[in-house]
């Protein structure tokens, strides 16, 4: 039987790379997206990489009837659920928007899946669910305690999924806790396109590198880390995309709910990342030391043993490759906007 995957949020950064990985693995892909934070141009990017254009439903995932129509139209066998809002900052100022969109759309999705008899779902969660009181590396059993509405929306969805699995053993549910996704497809044809001034380090760095922003603010150089700046586990988005495939394969033979960290297991500091980008662009990045950013945890990196043993998944790409591929995309993206 042909494998037919629905990718919610498939026009977005992670969804588009996952769609490419699915198509390359022989899946038929249906992308569902409301284009709230993406553009239809992504379809062209996916097409030029894979030679196939995914089916596209320009639909809001909270629209029950429209979502049911998508399930009626295509013989969907599994769902990758990446659709969601993701700005921590915005979630603090507008929490109801985050709870309504992220949780509301998940409820609509699982109801439609029940109606359509589809029981395999892989969900985009985040390392942000872990408590700052946990000691790195974080394994999947580390204490959870999200500290902002965005993180809380992820945590609540995880709980909903765990309860669904308890209530009905037919569900096959995979929860992927991404660490810090960066990079882009090596073709430079798809990547991350943040709107406005980026909040996250890599897109900010890239906009300084291209000359769109003047200098990089570094939020704190007095942490208890070797160079005083925060340490994160950056993971190449193409590795992450492969992780979704590995989770789908695992779920073919296992029901219940399963949690996996997706990261490299290695930490890189803010200053180390700046140096890596400088090597790629062959010029210095102007920086400015600032006060610590509220809510930042000094050191975050994953224990990736579970994904390695259960999914046979490991991140392959180095930090150099992450920076080089992100830069290639940044240049292409900036050129295409001129
Ligand atoms: P993105 O914004 O690039 O992609 C999300 C996509 O979902 C967008 O195309 C947007 O238009 C769509 N969308 C949002 N709400 C929708 C709705 N109600 N109906 C239909 N489409 C909707 O974000 P991303 O970086 O690709 O992130 C994907 C998922 O991974 C998100 O759920 C995010 O919370 C999670 N995540 C991302 C990161 C990260 O750093 N990028 C880290 C951890 C977890
Ligand atoms: N940073 C700077 N300057 C910037 C941006 C960030 O110094 O302009 C620093 C931050 O202070 C932090 C580090 O770079 O120390 C990484 O910050 P990011 O915002 O890139 O990433 P976070 O680890 O804070 O959070 C991101 C997403 C979350 C997600 C988490 C784990 O924003 O939604 O990764 O996946 F949950």
Query: What residues does each domain of the chain span?
Result: 4-182+234-263+302-307
Atom of ligand 2 nearest to the CA of 150: 33
Statement: residue 333 has pLDDT above 90: no
Backbone dihedral angles phi then psi of residue 180, each to the nearest 5 degrees: -110, 95
Q: Which two tokens stand for residue 27?
A: 């899946």
Mutate to test the pocket of ligand 2, among 37, 84, 85, 180 (most ligand atoms within 8 A of CB): 180
Atom of ligand 1 nearest to the CA of 38: 9
pLDDT band at 334 (very low <50, low <70, confident <90, very high): low
68 lines ligand 1 (CB under 6 A): no
Which protein residue's CA is at the shortest distance from atom 29 of ligand 2?
A: 128
126 lines ligand 1 (CB under 6 A): yes
pLDDT computed for residue 195 by the predictor = 85
Atom of ligand 2 nearest to the CA of 300: 23
83 lines ligand 1 (CB under 6 A): yes
Which protein residue's CA is at the shortest distance from atom 39 of ligand 1?
A: 181
Give me ligand 1 centre to Cα 14, in Å. 7
Catalytic residue among 74, 150, 317, 333: 150
pLDDT computed for residue 2 by the predictor = 86
**Sequence-separated (6 or more) residues with CB below 8 Å from residue 16:** 10, 38, 42, 45, 46, 190
Which-ligand-closest: CA of 56? Answer: 1
Instruction: Say which DSSP state 133 is in.
Output: T
Strands 268-269 and 231-232: antiparallel
% of residues, the chain, pLDDT over 90: 95
149 neighbors 92 (Cβ within 8 angstroms): yes
Which protein residue's CA is at the shortest distance from atom 18 of ligand 2?
A: 200
User: How far is Cα 333 from Cα 329, in angstroms, rounded to an integer?
Assistant: 6
Atom of ligand 1 nearest to the CA of 180: 40
User: How far is Cα 213 from Cα 141, in angstroms, rounded to an integer?
Assistant: 40
Ligand 2 is surrounded, with C-beta below 6 A, by 86, 88, 126-128, 178-180, 199-201, 204, 216-219, 230, 232, 270, 293, 296
Q: Which two tokens stand for residue 247?
A: 């989770």
227 neighbors 269 (Cβ within 8 angstroms): yes
pLDDT band at 273 (very low <50, low <70, confident <90, very high): very high
pLDDT 10s digits, 190-221: 999 888 899 999 999 999 999 999 999 999 99
Statement: residue 338 has pLDDT above 50: no
177 neighbors 126 (Cβ within 8 angstroms): yes
34 lines ligand 1 (CB under 6 A): yes
In terms of CATH, what superfamily is 4-182+234-263+302-307? Answer: NAD(P)-binding Rossmann-like Domain (3.40.50.720)
User: How far is Cα 191 from Cα 14, in angstroms, rounded to an integer?
Assistant: 8
Which-ligand-closest: CA of 229? Answer: 2
Atom of ligand 1 nearest to the CA of 105: 18
pLDDT computed for residue 194 by the predictor = 87
Mean pLDDT of 150-169: 98
With CA atoms as reference, report the closest residue to 20 among 46, 53, 42.
Answer: 46
pLDDT computed for residue 250 by the predictor = 98
Which-ligand-closest: CA of 107? Answer: 1
Which protein residue's CA is at the shortest distance from atom 13 of ligand 1?
A: 83
Active site (annotated) includes residue 27: no
107 lines ligand 1 (CB under 6 A): no
pTM (global) more than 0.95? yes
Residue owning tokens 């390392």:
127
User: How far is Cα 267 from Cα 292, in angstroms, rounded to an integer?
Assistant: 19
Statement: residue 336 has pLDDT above 90: no
∠ CA(174), CA(175), CA(180), 5° rounding? Answer: 135
pLDDT computed for residue 1 by the predictor = 75
Strands (E), 278-327: 287-290
11 lines ligand 1 (CB under 6 A): yes
How many Cβ atoms from other residues are within 10 Å of residue 73's Cβ?
A: 11
Chain mean pLDDT for the chain: 96
Q: Which two tokens stand for residue 78?
A: 């599994």
């Amino acid at each position: 039987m042909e494998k037919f995957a629905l990718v919610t949020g498939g026009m977005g950064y992670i969804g588009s790379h996952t769609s490419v990985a699915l198509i390359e693995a022989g899946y038929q892909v249906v992308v569902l997206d409301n284009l709230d934070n993406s553009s239809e141009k992504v379809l062209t990017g996916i097409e030029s990489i894979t030679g196939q254009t995914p089916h596209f439903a320009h639909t809001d995932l909270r629209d029950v009837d429209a979502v049911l129509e998508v399930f009626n139209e295509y013989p969907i066998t599994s769902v990758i659920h990446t659709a969601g809002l993701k700005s921590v900052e915005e979630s603090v100022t507008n929490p109801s928007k985050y709870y309504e969109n992220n949780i509301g759309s998940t409820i609509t999705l699982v109801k439609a899946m029940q109606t359509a008899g589809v029981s395999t779902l892989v969900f985009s969660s985040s390392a942000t669910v872990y408590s700052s009181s946990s000691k790195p590396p974080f394994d999947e059993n580390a204490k959870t305690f999200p500290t902002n509405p965005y993180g809380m929306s992820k945590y609540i969805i995880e709980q909903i999924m765990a309860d669904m699995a308890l209530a009905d053993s037919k569900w096959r549910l995979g929860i992927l806790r991404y660490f810090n996704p960066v990079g882009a497809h090596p073709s430079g044809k798809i990547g991350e396109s943040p709107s406005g001034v980026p909040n996250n380090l890599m897109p900010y760095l890239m906009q300084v590198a291209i000359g769109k922003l003047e200098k990089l603010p570094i939020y704190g150089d007095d942490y208890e880390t070797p160079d005083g700046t925060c340490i994160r586990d950056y993971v190449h988005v193409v590795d992450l995309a492969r992780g979704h495939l590995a989770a789908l394969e695992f779920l073919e033979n296992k029901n219940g709910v399963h949690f996996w960290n997706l990261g490299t297991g290695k930490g890189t500091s803010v200053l180390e990342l700046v140096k890596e980008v400088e090597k790629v662009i062959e010029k210095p990045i102007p920086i400015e030391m600032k006060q610590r950013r509220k809510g930042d945890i000094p050191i975050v990196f994953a224990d990736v043993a579970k994904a390695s043993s259960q999914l046979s998944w490991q991140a392959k790409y180095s930090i150099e490759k992450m920076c080089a591929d992100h830069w290639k995309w940044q240049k292409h993206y900036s050129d295409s906007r001129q």
